Homo-oligomer: A and B are copies of this chain.
């Protein structure tokens, strides 16, 4: 089956189960970032028998395969999103909870500078800013 052979999971020798397909579909369709519970609840709407354990197991798999990014905004905001080609980070509005993506060329510069000054090899940058979004800062 050509579709499955090209599937990101099949390529890496992992069976494409209905549950995995469903979870990836939901993550792809999601306009916002989902945490494990939100993903589970959306999955339940289409598969009444899917379990939360399956959601966690597959989120971990997707993360290991590099299919999704895990974004830990704080102890309660841990969300997941399908990995896209363009690297970006997040702004978190502490007033309304809105999550906004941002990019900046300064991040690569910062990483390069720190790697040089501290003799460090950076594999990942965890970065987000907390504050007030456009709407909330007016008040």
Contact with B along A123-139 (1 / 0, CB 8 A): 11111111111100100
A97 to B125, CA, bound (A): 16
Judge whether A16 is part of the interface by a CB distance below 8 angstroms.
no
Judge whether A11 is part of the interface by a CB distance below 8 angstroms.
no
On whether the beta carbons of A127 and B130 are closer than 8 Å, the reply is no
Please tell me the size bucket of the interface on A: 35 or more
Judge whether A44 is part of the interface by a CB distance below 8 angstroms.
no
Judge whether A53 is part of the interface by a CB distance below 8 angstroms.
no
Q: Beyond the given A106-B110, A120-B129, could you list 10 further A-B residue pairs with CB under 8 A, ordered by the A residue number?
A: A72-B72, A72-B74, A73-B126, A75-B78, A94-B123, A100-B118, A114-B129, A120-B134, A125-B127, A127-B127
